Amino acid sequence: MNNNREGRSRGSPAEKDGNEKTVRKEIYRLNIPMILENLLQVSAGLISTAMIGRLMASDISAQGLCVRITDTLWCFYKGVAIGATVLIARSFGAGKRDKCRRVAEQTLLTEIPIALLLGVALFFVGMPVFRFFTEDAGILVKAGEYMRIIVFGFPFVVIMSVVTATFQEHGNTRTPMYIAVAVNIINIIFGYLLIFGPGLLPEFGIRGAAMALVSSQAGGACIGLYLLYRKGGLLRNTEEQKYHLRPDGRLIKEIYRTGVPAALESMFWQFSAIILSKVILAYGENSFAAYQLGIQAETVTEMPAIGFSTASTTLAARALGQTDDQ
């Protein structure tokens, strides 16, 4: 009797092979659009850097300096989004669509104020942070100009990260890819127009690159929210139609309990990059500009690994949710 149960629980080799093929197929179905989405995000940065590179080495260095700081903050946003990712996938696996909506909205409710506070702090006290890296007056002035504009995009970055997590954990990885295409197009068009000022348009230089970046982030956030809440959208087709705009302490704790360790892990890697940037800046702005271009190119090779990691997280959390439901 026990042997029969054991046999049924383990399954035949043919069943196992079929299950493994199904899982592999699902991983690739989720993974390929995610890799393309990440590549699009990286390509936008490459194109923006290429356009800034036609200005001066100090412009590339100033942008790179700001990227080191904003990437550290992005790791925090992304880490918290991972906490939301796990809970959304687990709730989706258990068939709890209403909880998926609550998790997404509670994440936005807590992360947007944090992004605003960090943006205000960097807007007013960004210069002492830059002086940790360098005393070059040219880089400091341009980094300050760039940072005082891109901080306005922090809330939009949060929204896009939560929107992406929500779609991906529902098994829809194509929509974030299409949003990334739109963000790319906005960034490239606005970047060219605002950086170089063709025709009668004014030339803003590095400030134009920052304006284009914020415009593309705002566009991506608006598109993402529209797709989530439109008629037939993922967060519209739930039994509970009200918005969850009051803090739910228990759910927030659950999100951050998973998200904060993931955020800290990524942020520690960024801290090492910050120290390395400080060392390279000691060799001059040309060396740091070359380093920034190399980092942008290297990031492309990381995209497949990030895609597989996200797909694995999605499927594992969804399977746990199905187990909970049973």
Residue carrying the six token digits 């060396």 = 287
pLDDT one-digit tens code per residue, 54-90 = 778 788 888 888 988 998 888 888 888 888 888 888 8
**pLDDT-derived band at 8, boundaries 50, 70, 90:** very low
Residue 263 domain-assigned (yes or no): yes
Q: Does 1 or 184 have the greater pLDDT score?
A: 184
Residue 23 domain-assigned (yes or no): no
Residue 89 domain-assigned (yes or no): yes
Upper half-sphere CA count for residue 203 (Cβ side, 13 Å): 8
Q: Is the pLDDT of residue 285 over 60?
A: yes
pLDDT of residue 5: 45
Highest mean pLDDT among 28-37, 272-281, 292-301: 272-281
Give the chain's domain count: 1
Residue 21 domain-assigned (yes or no): no
pLDDT of residue 225: 94
Which residue range forms the structural domain that includes residue 285? 29-318
SS3 127: helix
Q: Average of pLDDT values for 140-160?
A: 94
Measured on CA atoms in the order 270, 106, 171, 321, is the torsion positive or negative?
positive
Closest CA to 300 of 30, 47, 25: 47
pLDDT of residue 283: 83
Amino acid at 137: A
Q: Is the pLDDT of residue 17 over 60?
A: no
Calpha distance 44→151 (Å, rounded): 18
pLDDT of residue 290: 80
- Residue 190 and residue 215 in contact, taking contact as beta carbons nearer than 8 Å: yes
Q: Is the pLDDT of residue 321 over 70?
A: no
pLDDT of residue 112: 95
The rounded radius of gyration (Å) of the Cα atoms in the chain is 22
Mean pLDDT for the chain overall: 81
Residue 81 domain-assigned (yes or no): yes
- Which region among 178-187, 220-229, 277-286 has the lowest average model confidence (pLDDT)? 277-286
- Which region among 125-139, 152-166, 208-222 has the lowest average model confidence (pLDDT)? 125-139
Q: Does 149 or 5 have the greater pLDDT score?
A: 149
pLDDT of residue 170: 78
Calpha distance 251→87 (Å, rounded): 9
Calpha distance 225→269 (Å, rounded): 31
pLDDT one-digit tens code per residue, 216-261 = 999 999 999 999 988 877 777 655 556 557 888 899 999 999 889 9
**pLDDT-derived band at 34, boundaries 50, 70, 90:** confident
The angle formed by the CA atoms of residues 155, 298 and 64, to the nearest 5 degrees, is 50
SS3 176: helix
pLDDT of residue 6: 46
Q: What share of the chain is helix, strand, coil (3-state, %, to 5)?
A: 85, 0, 15
- Residue 119 and residue 182 in contact, taking contact as beta carbons nearer than 8 Å: no
Residue 262 domain-assigned (yes or no): yes
Residue 5, Cβ neighbours under 10 Å: how many?
9
End-to-end CA distance of the chain: 23
Residue 40 token pair: 């699009």
Residue 293 token pair: 């271009």
Q: Average of pLDDT values for 300-304?
A: 70
